[in-house]
Structure 1
Amino acid sequence: MAADFAPHVLRLLLGAVYDTDKTQWRELEQLQVSIGQYLAKIGLKLHLDKDQGLAYVTQPASDEDEYDASQPDLPRLMRRHQLSYELTMLCVALRYHLDRFDQAATDDTRRCFVTRAELRQQLELFARPTTDEAKASKQLDADLKTAERLGFLRTTAPDKTLDPEPRYEICRLVTALISNAKLLEVRDQLRQHLAGPASAELPDEESSEPTFPSL
C-alpha cells in the first residue's frame, strides 16, 4: 500500500510546488519530515522554503556539500544543465527583476510579472555586441522557452490594450536555484567580461558559465 505522502512525492518529482495551492501546501508542511526522510533514502533532498512559498526536490551531486557519500552510487534522476551565455544572462535578469519587485512590495503579493520588452531592455546591459537584431530576438525567444521549461517562467495572457508584448510570471524557483551569492558572482563575471579590452574574447561557455540543476 502506498504511503500517505506518496501523492506529494510524485507531485514534487514533477516540479516545484507553490503555496498558492493552499491545500497541498498545508499537507506538505504537515508531512515535511516524513517526505524528507523518504526522499533521503533514495538520494534526493526536499527543500521547503516558507519565505518564498515553494517546495522542490534536488538530487545532490558528488561535488556538492549536500551529497551523502554513504549512499551507493545511484543513477541520476535529475539532469544538471550547462546554461548558455545568453540563458545565464536571462536568469540573472529574472532574479534581479524579482529582487527589485520584492524590495518595492508594500503587501504580501508574491506574484511578479514581466514583459518580453522589459527583459530585453535589461539584457542589453550584458548583451554581446551584435548588428543582427533579428538573430538576437530569435535567441531571446528560444531562451524564454527554455526558461519556461525549466520552471523559471510561466506564460500569461498579455493585456493587449496596454502592451502587446508577451507577459510572463517569474516563478519563485529562480530564487532557490540562483542564490544571492551566485547572482552576484555571475553578474560580476559578466561585467568583467564585457568591460575587458575590445579585442579580448569571452571565455567559452563550458568553462565559464555556472551549472544549475533542473527539476
Structure 2
Amino acid sequence: MANTMAEEKDMDYSRALITILKGVVDKRTQPDIWNIIKDNQPRMEEYVAQIGLLLYVDDNAGYAYVKQNDDENLPRLVPRHQLSYGLSILLVQLRKSLGDFDASNGDSILVLSFEDIKLRLKPFYPAATNETKFDNEVNRHIKKAVEMGFLSEVYGQADAYEVRELIRSFVTADWLQRFNERLQDYLDFGSRNAEEPSEENALDF
C-alpha cells in the first residue's frame, strides 16, 4: 500500500514537471498541477537547476513557469519565441494598460473588449489599412496572447479579455527598452504605408 502511494506521488510529480517544462501553469485552470508544484517546489527547483533552468512561482498571481538561467553556459532548453510586429505592439499596449489600471483600481482585474484593443493598436498601423484585414490581424494577435497566457477570455462576455498578471514577468523594463529602440520603425509604419519592420529584428522572449 505504501509503495503504491509513493508510486502515485512520483507519477504526479513527473506529470507536473513535464507540464511546467512545456509552458506556463495557471492556478485557476490547472489547480491539480499547481498544487503538486507547490507541494514539491524545493525538489522541483533543485531538479530544474541541474539542467540550467530556474523555477518561477508567483503565489499572488497564481502562475508558475521555468526559464533559462542565462548565467549557465549550457545549451538552451527553453526556446526563444520570436514575436511578430503586431504581437509586440499588442503586448506593450496591454502592459501599459495594466500599469495605468493599477494606479487607479487597486485589486480589480483589467478587462478589455476587442474594440478597446483595436483602439490601442490603431496608431501603429497605416491609416489606409483595410478595416476587415485589420480586424482579422488584431484577432490573430489576441488569440496568440491568449495562448501565451497574457490574456484570458471572460466567461459570459463576448469579445472581452482579462489582462493577466503574467505579462508583468515577460514585458519587463529591459524588454520595453528593447522595444523603445525599435519604436521609431513602428511609428513610421503606422504613419504611412511603409514596409512592416523586419522580422529579423523582431523582439522575442
TM-score (norm. length: structure 1): 0.73
Aligned to 2:65: 56
Aligned to 1:153: 151
Aligned to 1:123: 121
Is residue 13 from structure 1 mapped to residue 21 from structure 2 by the alignment?
Answer: yes
Q: Which has the higher helix share?
A: 2
Aligned AA (1:10): I
Whole-angstrom CA distance in 1 between matches of 2:177 and 2:38: 31
Aligned to 2:183: 190
Aligned to 1:105: 105
Aligned AA (2:80): R
Q: Is the 8 A contact 1:16 1:173 kept in 2?
A: no
Whole-angstrom CA distance in 2 between matches of 1:104 and 1:38: 41
Greater relative CO, 1 or 2 (CA 8 Å, sep 6+)? 1
Cα displacement (A) at 1:157:
3.2
Residue of structure 2 aligned with 1:35, choices 39, 44, 48: 44
Whole-angstrom CA distance in 1 between matches of 2:67 and 2:40: 18
Whole-angstrom CA distance in 1 between matches of 2:156 and 2:32: 29
TM-score (norm. length: structure 2): 0.76
Distance 1:158 1:186, change over 3 A: farther
Q: Deviations over 1:18-39 (max 9, x none)?
A: 4557786566445332211111
Q: Is the 8 A contact 1:83 1:210 kept in 2?
A: yes
Whole-angstrom CA distance in 2 between matches of 1:177 and 1:134: 30
Identity %: 28
Whole-angstrom CA distance in 1 between matches of 2:123 and 2:57: 33
Distance 1:52 1:103, change over 3 A: farther
Cα displacement (A) at 1:176:
1.2
Q: Structure 2 stretches of 5 or more lacking a match?
A: 1-6
Aligned to 1:89: 89
Whole-angstrom CA distance in 2 between matches of 1:189 and 1:35: 38
Whole-angstrom CA distance in 1 between matches of 2:60 and 2:173: 15
Residue of structure 1 aligned with 2:137, choices 128, 136, 139: 139
Aligned to 2:198: 204
Whole-angstrom CA distance in 1 between matches of 2:17 and 2:139: 33
Whole-angstrom CA distance in 2 between matches of 1:200 and 1:124: 15
Distance 1:18 1:203, change over 3 A: closer
Q: Deviations over 1:39-67 (max 9, x none)?
A: 1223332112345442211235xxxxx24
Whole-angstrom CA distance in 2 between matches of 1:166 and 1:89: 19
Whole-angstrom CA distance in 1 between matches of 2:164 and 2:19: 17
Q: How much is the aligned-residue C-alpha RMSD, in angstroms?
A: 3.2
